Copies of this chain bind each other. A is one copy, B any other.
Amino acid sequence: MMPQARWWNAVIASSRPRTWEQLTTSAGPGTSGGRIFTRLTAVESVVHRPASDRTLRRSMATGPPGSKVLTEDNVFINLRKMEYAVRGPLLIRALEIEKELQKGAKKPFKEVIKANVGDAHAMGQQPITFLRQVLTLTVSPSLLDDPSYPEDVKERAKTILCQCKGGSVGSYSESAGIEIIRKHVAQYIQDRDGIPSDYHNIILSNGASDGIKSFLKLFNEKLDGKPSGVMIPIPQYPLYSATLAEFGLTQIGYYLNEENKWGLDISELDRALNESRRSCNPRVLVVINPGNPTGQVLTRTNIEDVIRFAYKNHLFLLADEVYQDNVYDKDSAFHSFKKVMMEMGEPYCKMELASFMSVSKGYMGECGIRGGYGEIINMDPKVMAILLKSISAMLCPTVLGQVVMDVVVNPPKPNEPSYKLFQKEKEETLRSLAERSQLVVDTLNSIPGFKVNPAMGAMYVFPRIDLPKRAIQAAEKEGQQPDVFYAFKLLESTGICVIPGSGFGQRPGTYHFRTTILPQKEKINTMLENLRQFHIRFLEEYK
């Protein structure tokens, strides 16, 4: 029932789990050696049961004074079960290797390349000048008189500071965010879609993850004794599987169609939904567009079909649209779910929809600053009030994250002094990402046994790799999934840190990994060449 979590704990306990014993070290009562590998592969199953199976749990309500109050046996089991592969054992090992290198350890490589996470600045992408200038003036209002800052920067900073209580970004904002920034977000959406947007529907957050989690929490209710079910793509971004595990919601995985550029097949949505009905009440349909980890950009027709499916099956749509600026394919365009739904007219334009955006992706890449927004439309006003109340105890999202979000939705206009530089930096960043995505796809497709779909958008590619039978057996022997085995070998041999496909989900018997396209050009060339050489050696070793 909790394969990766166990494995994760084992990894924590012993940094390089290679032996059967290590892998079973932290398994609780009821684990028999013979079952461990089967359980390790359970992450690939499509419908996960919610975390209600507590039969493994020892009865340990109280202990004697002096014993630990909180132990692995009485900690919240949903947290023990949850996993987040992007920051899982591969990254932990990568960080260790970095420290070993610092201490002078001899390795066949000089540095660890963290292609595990969409962290653009970490990989050398430069911040957007205008964005950092506005942020600087809100932090140091005394610089508002400094002639070296352009007028549009000053105007943006002043507008925001006027709305901060006491004129300081150090005061709390409303829990949903500063009103003027919410209004700018609404205007941005309206300009993007040509459809009205009401700022009352906008909630700012500490990155999109925070907003998505607050939203999904609303569904954490059993109805007629059954938990709520949330449909998510497989492969998916593991924020979803982690959040569903934490809340005890049922994950209803629907496979994306790898043969058709990771598109959404309605028949597959139907299959997944119907199979899940026995164990849960399906209530939410998550779509990630552009796709993470899969990089597809949905066609308008595909989106319309998905909306009809959600309507027919009474599902709340969650559109994860954080990569809306990251479309590289010339024949593709980003269509927001809201725009399509609205243009389809009644009854679809009345459907409940939540869409999320972030300052961490796009051309900004300001991951560390934690800014995001959600637009939630057609939600019952009483539920909206409950959502606002539920976030109020956390007081407010970081005001500086809100400032950066303001810049993103209210960039320099053509007649403003910062326009030219802003456009140049934005376009150059997006052009370079498009170039690197093409480079990664082309190079990987040239490696024997690799097959990659075109990277139409987002920041990742998700190649399928054919693993030799002997490699699969070797992995099994070490109690690891074959793609995890492969990723660890890659890391130890080359310093390249990618995330195995099993962290995102994949069809049983297929193997993938996710790599970002973010290392700068020279580094990405080296990385791809090292990857190719590693793979050829790997094939040789396990042929």
Interface residues of A (CB under 8 A from B): 5, 8-9, 12-13, 26, 54, 57, 59-72, 74-80, 82-84, 86-88, 95, 114, 117, 119-125, 127, 132-133, 135-136, 139-140, 143, 164-166, 168-175, 206-207, 209-210, 213, 217-224, 226, 238-239, 242-243, 246, 281, 283-284, 311-316, 347, 350, 352, 364-370, 378-383, 385-387, 389-390, 392-401
Asked if A218 and B79 sit within 8 Å, CB to CB, the answer is: yes
Residues on B with beta carbons closer than 8 Å to the beta carbon of A242: 393
**In the complex, which residue of chain B has the Cβ closest to the Cβ of A60?**
B223
- Within 8 Å by CB of A370, from B62, B117, B120, B206, lies B206
Residues on B with beta carbons closer than 8 Å to the beta carbon of A364: 170
Asked if A165 and B121 sit within 8 Å, CB to CB, the answer is: yes
Shortest A437–chain B CB gap in Å is: 19
Given contacts A8-B389, A70-B219, contact A61 B224 (CB under 8 A): yes
- 11 more contacts with CB within 8 A, not counting A68-B380, A70-B218, A70-B383, are A62-B281, A68-B379, A74-B223, A79-B389, A79-B390, A117-B172, A120-B171, A121-B165, A139-B139, A170-B368, A206-B398
Asked if A170 and B393 sit within 8 Å, CB to CB, the answer is: no
Residues on B with beta carbons closer than 8 Å to the beta carbon of A283: 69-70
**In the complex, which residue of chain B has the Cβ closest to the Cβ of A396?**
B368
Asked if B314 and A172 sit within 8 Å, CB to CB, the answer is: no
Asked if B165 and A72 sit within 8 Å, CB to CB, the answer is: no
- Within 8 Å by CB of A395, from B87, B173, B226, B382, lies B87
Asked if B224 and A122 sit within 8 Å, CB to CB, the answer is: no
How many identical subunits does the complex contain?
Answer: 2
**In the complex, which residue of chain B has the Cβ closest to the Cβ of A125?**
B166
**In the complex, which residue of chain B has the Cβ closest to the Cβ of A281?**
B61
Asked if B380 and A170 sit within 8 Å, CB to CB, the answer is: no
- Within 8 Å by CB of A368, from B83, B140, B173, B381, lies B173
Shortest A234–chain B CB gap in Å is: 17
Asked if A63 and B170 sit within 8 Å, CB to CB, the answer is: no
Residues on B with beta carbons closer than 8 Å to the beta carbon of A312: 65
Asked if A366 and B121 sit within 8 Å, CB to CB, the answer is: no
Residues on B with beta carbons closer than 8 Å to the beta carbon of A54: 222
Asked if A238 and B379 sit within 8 Å, CB to CB, the answer is: no
Given contacts A82-B390, A367-B171, contact A380 B70 (CB under 8 A): yes
- Within 8 Å by CB of A166, from B82, B121, B213, B315, lies B121
Q: Can you list 21 A-B contacts (CB < 8 A)?
A: A12-B385, A13-B385, A59-B223, A62-B281, A65-B313, A65-B347, A66-B311, A66-B350, A68-B383, A70-B380, A71-B380, A72-B380, A79-B389, A84-B392, A122-B171, A125-B166, A369-B400, A370-B395, A370-B396, A398-B398, A400-B400
Asked if A397 and B385 sit within 8 Å, CB to CB, the answer is: no
Residues on B with beta carbons closer than 8 Å to the beta carbon of A382: 9, 12-13, 26, 71-72
- Within 8 Å by CB of A80, from B67, B124, B173, B386, lies B386
Shortest A34–chain B CB gap in Å is: 24
Shortest A385–chain B CB gap in Å is: 4
Residues on B with beta carbons closer than 8 Å to the beta carbon of A62: 281, 314
Shortest A224–chain B CB gap in Å is: 5
Shortest A111–chain B CB gap in Å is: 12
Shortest A461–chain B CB gap in Å is: 20
Q: How far is the CA of A164 from the CA of B83 in the complex (A)?
A: 25
Asked if A221 and B368 sit within 8 Å, CB to CB, the answer is: no
Q: How far is the CA of A382 from the CA of B26 in the complex (A)?
A: 9
Asked if A170 and B13 sit within 8 Å, CB to CB, the answer is: no
**In the complex, which residue of chain B has the Cβ closest to the Cβ of A222?**
B54
**In the complex, which residue of chain B has the Cβ closest to the Cβ of A368?**
B399
Q: How far is the CA of A71 from the CA of B221 in the complex (A)?
A: 12
Asked if B389 and A83 sit within 8 Å, CB to CB, the answer is: yes
Q: How far is the CA of A379 from the CA of B173 in the complex (A)?
A: 35
Asked if B400 and A165 sit within 8 Å, CB to CB, the answer is: no
Asked if B169 and A368 sit within 8 Å, CB to CB, the answer is: yes
Residues on B with beta carbons closer than 8 Å to the beta carbon of A383: 68, 70-72, 75
Asked if B314 and A79 sit within 8 Å, CB to CB, the answer is: no
Asked if B390 and A246 sit within 8 Å, CB to CB, the answer is: yes
Asked if B166 and A124 sit within 8 Å, CB to CB, the answer is: yes
- Within 8 Å by CB of A209, from B66, B135, B316, B394, lies B394
Scoring A84, A175, A239, A281 by chain B CB atoms within 10 A of each residue's CB, the highest score goes to A84
Asked if A70 and B352 sit within 8 Å, CB to CB, the answer is: yes
Shortest A229–chain B CB gap in Å is: 11
Asked if B218 and A75 sit within 8 Å, CB to CB, the answer is: yes
